[in-house]
C-alpha cells in the first residue's frame, strides 16, 4: 500500500486508555473511550531525531498501532467501523510529562510538539487483516519493553471509529492512534526507540518494519511568556510507569530523584530541586541538635516576633506522650469526597499511596484533611510504610484508623485522634508535593516541622537559623529562671528578667 498518507496526514486523533495492561498500570479502567488531538506538524518519519526540550526531564514514548482512514466516514456502526480503515502502521505517541500541568488535560503542549508522532515505515493494507490479531512491540536501545496484542482491547477498533463518527466526519488520511500497552516509560538523549506492528498469526505475517527514533537533547530554553516545565513525584512515577520502575531508573542514574535532584544525562532539574537543595543545606546536623533542646512553645514566640502568627498546626497531638519530631515537610492533599472524583482518583496507586510510598528519610508527611476528623486519613499499613522508609513523622489534621496499632509503631503521628472509617467516607486523595493547609497553617514542601507535647509548628527554611538561635538562647534563659524559682526566688522582676536579673544571668554565663 502507498505510504502517501504518512506524508500528508489529516486529523490525528489519539485514544487515552485502551489496553488492559496499561489500565491496570494506571489503576483505572475507563467506562468509555476518550480522546485528544495531535497536530499534523507532530508527524515524523522513521530514522528521525526527536529533541527532548531543554529544561524537561520526562520525555516518554508510547508504542501504538495507527489506523489510517481510507474513506469518508460518518455515523457508522461498530460492526462497520473497521471497513473504513485502509491500512495500519506503527506509531510512537511521544509526550513530555513536564507540560501536563500546563495542558489542563488537553495534551496539546505535552504531546503536540514537532516530531512527537513518528509514523511508519510501511503501511499494511487492512483489507485482509483481523483487527483483533495485531501485535505492537517497542524496543529501547535494543531491549524489548512493550509487547501486546489487540485481542483484548477495552475498545475495539470498530467501536472507536463508530464512536468518533457520531459527531465528526472522518476523512481519508485521518489517523487514529489506538492507545499504548504497559511498558511505556521515559527515554533520555542518546536513546534509540523502535516500534513495530505486525500480524503474527496471518499467513503472510505482514509487518510495518521498525519505526526508529533517536532522542537528542534540545538547547533552546522555554520563554517566560507561557507555562514552563514543571514536574512532581506523581508525574515522575507515571512517566516511568510505576514506582518500582522509577526507583530502578534512579538507581541506574537514568532518573531524577523524588526531591528533584538531577539524575538525568543533561543535569536539568526543577524549581523544587533548588528548594530541596536549599532546605538540605539549612537543616544541618548542628541545627538539628539545637532544635532537640528547643520547645515548640519557644519557637512560636520567636516566629511571632517576625510576624508569623499562623504557623501552629491547630488541634493535633501525638500518639506517643513525650514524642519529639523534627523533619522537612512532604505534603499530601485531600479534597472533599465526591463519587465521580473518588472513582477517578481514589483507586490504584493514588496520591495517598504515592505519598507514603515515596516519603524520604527525615521527611515529615503532612496531610491536609481540612480539619475533618470524621474519618481516617492514615492507618497501620501506611504508617508502617512511612516508618520503614525512614520518615521523621506523620502530621494530619484528620483522624487515624487502627489507632492502637499505629501507636505501637515508633514513628510519631500527630492527629486529631482516632476514627475507624475509611478514607472514601469524606476524602478524595488528590495531589502530593504542593502547598497545603494543615490545621490552619500553610505548609510547603521543604518547610521545617517541629513537634512535641504542645503540638506541631511550621518554620519557613529561610528563617530557621535565626529562629533556632534565638529560641535556643531563650531556652537557656528560661532554664536559669526556673532554677532561681526552684531556689525560692519570686517571679516578680525575674520572669521576665529585668535589667538586674539580666545582668546576673549574663554574669553566670560568662558573657
With beta carbons less than 8 A apart as the criterion, state whether 349 and 234 touch: no
* Residue 248 neighbours by CB under 8 Å, 6+ apart: none
Say how far apart CA 383 and CA 187 lie, in whole Å.
34
Q: Are 411 and 280 in contact (CB under 8 A)?
A: no
Alpha carbon 454 to chain centroid, angstroms:
33
The position carrying cell 518494519 is 209
| DSSP conformation class of 185 | -
Measure the CA–CA gap between 182 and 200, rounded to whole angstroms: 20
Are 356 and 379 in contact by the 8 Å Cβ rule? The answer is: no
- Give the HSE-up count for residue 216: Cα atoms under 13 Å, Cβ half-sphere: 10
Beta partners for 213? Answer: 48, 193
Cis-peptide into 424, omega within 30 deg: no
Task: State how far the Cα of 113 lies from the Cα of 52, in Å rounded to an integer.
Answer: 10
Type and span of the H or E element at 504: helix 499-509
Q: What would the DSSP string read from start to end of 453-491?
A: TTEEEEE-GGGHHHHHHHHHHHHHHHHHHHHHHHTT--S
Instruction: Report how far residue 262's alpha carbon sits from residue 236's, in angstroms, rounded to the nearest whole number.
Output: 12
Please report, in range form, the residues annotated as the binding site: 379-382, 401-402
With the CA atoms of 159, 165, 167 and 171 taken in that order, what torsion angle do they form, in degrees rounded to the nearest 10?
150
Of 468, 478, 473, 443, give the one whose Cα is nearest residue 288.
468
Judge residue 261's burial from the number of C-beta atoms within 10 Å of its C-beta, 0-12 exposed, 13-18 middle, 19 or more buried: middle
Per the DSSP assignment, residues forming a β-bridge with 286 are none
* Binding-site residue positions for Mg(2+): 402
Contact 415, 364 (CB under 8 A): no
In this structure, what are the phi and psi dihedrals at residue 50, rounded to the nearest 5 degrees? -115, 125
d(C-alpha 221, C-alpha 223), whole Å = 6
Which cell numbers in the block locate residue 185? 516509560
Q: What b/e string do you get for 371-383 counting C-beta neighbours within 10 Å, with b at 16 or more?
A: ebbebbbbbbebb
Amino acid at each position: 500500500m502507498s505510504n502517501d498518507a504518512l506524508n500528508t496526514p489529516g486529523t490525528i486523533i489519539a485514544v487515552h486508555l485502551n489496553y488492559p495492561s496499561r489500565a491496570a498500570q494506571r489503576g483505572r479502567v475507563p467506562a468509555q473511550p476518550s480522546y485528544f488531538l495531535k497536530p499534523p506538524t507532530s508527524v515524523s518519519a522513521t530514522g528521525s531525531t526527536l529533541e527532548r526540550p531543554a529544561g524537561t526531564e520526562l520525555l516518554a514514548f508510547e508504542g501504538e498501532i495507527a489506523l489510517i482512514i481510507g474513506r469518508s466516514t460518518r455515523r457508522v456502526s461498530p460492526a462497520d467501523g473497521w471497513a473504513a480503515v485502509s491500512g495500519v502502521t506503527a506509531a510512537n505517541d511521544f509526550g513530555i510529562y513536564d507540560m501536563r500541568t500546563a495542558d489542563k488535560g488537553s495534551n496539546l503542549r505535552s504531546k503536540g510538539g514537532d516530531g512527537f508522532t513518528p509514523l511508519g515505515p510501511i503501511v499494511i493494507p487492512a483489507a485482509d487483516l483481523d483487527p483483533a490479531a495485531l501485535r505492537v512491540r517497542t524496543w529501547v536501545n535494543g531491549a524489548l519493553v512493550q509487547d501486546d496484542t489487540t485481542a483484548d482491547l477495552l475498545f475495539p477498533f470498530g467501536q472507536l471509529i463508530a464512536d468518533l463518527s457520531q459527531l465528526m466526519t472522518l476523512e481519508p488520511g485521518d489517523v487514529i492512534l489506538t492507545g499504548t500497552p504497559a511498558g511505556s516509560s521515559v527515554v533520555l538523549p542518546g536513546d534509540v526507540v523502535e516500534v513495530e506492528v505486525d500480524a503474527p498469526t496471518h499467513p503472510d505475517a505482514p509487518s510495518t518494519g521498525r519505526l526508529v527514533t533517536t532522542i537528542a537533547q534540545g538547547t533552546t530554553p522555554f520563554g517566560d511568556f507561557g507555562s514552563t516545565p514543571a514536574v512532581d513525584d506523581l508525574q515522575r512515577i507515571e512517566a516511568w510507569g510505576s514506582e518500582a520502575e522509577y526507583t530502578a531508573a534512579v538507581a541506574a542514574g537514568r532518573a531524577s530523584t523524588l526531591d528533584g535532584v538531577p539524575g538525568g544525562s543533561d543535569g536539568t532539574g526543577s524549581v523544587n530541586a533548588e528548594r530541596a537543595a536549599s532546605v538540605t543545606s539549612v537543616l544541618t546536623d548542628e541545627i538539628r541538635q539545637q532544635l532537640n533542646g528547643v520547645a515548640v512553645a519557644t519557637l512560636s514566640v520567636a516566629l511571632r516576633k517576625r510576624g508569623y502568627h499562623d504557623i501552629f498546626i491547630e488541634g493535633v497531638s501525638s500518639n506517643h506522650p513525650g514524642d519529639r519530631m523534627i523533619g522537612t515537610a512532604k505534603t499530601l492533599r485531600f479534597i472533599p469526597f465526591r463519587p465521580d472524583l473518588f472513582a477517578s482518583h481514589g483507586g490504584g496507586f493514588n496520591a495517598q499511596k504515592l505519598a507514603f510510598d515515596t516519603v524520604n528519610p527525615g521527611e515529615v508527611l503532612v496531610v491536609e484533611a481540612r480539619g475533618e476528623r470524621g474519618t481516617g486519613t492514615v492507618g497501620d499499613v501506611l504508617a508502617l510504610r512511612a516508618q520503614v522508609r525512614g520518615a521523621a513523622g506523620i502530621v494530619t489534621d484528620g483522624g487515624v484508623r487502627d489507632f492502637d496499632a499505629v501507636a505501637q509503631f515508633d514513628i510519631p503521628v500527630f492527629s486529631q485522634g482516632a476514627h475507624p472509617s475509611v478514607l472514601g467516607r469524606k476524602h478524595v486523595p488528590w495531589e502530593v508535593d504542593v502547598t497545603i493547609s494543615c490545621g490552619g497553617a500553610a505548609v510547603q514542601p521543604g518547610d521545617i516541622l517541629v513537634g512535641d507535647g504542645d503540638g506541631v509548628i511550621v518554620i519557613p527554611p529561610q528563617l530557621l537559623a535565626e529562629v533556632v538561635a534565638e529560641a535556643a538562647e531563650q531556652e537557656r534563659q528560661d532554664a536559669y529562671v526556673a532554677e532561681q524559682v526552684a531556689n525560692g526566688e519570686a517571679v516578680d522582676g525575674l520572669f521576665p528578667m529585668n535589667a538586674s536579673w539580666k545582668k546576673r544571668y549574663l554574669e553566670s554565663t560568662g558573657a
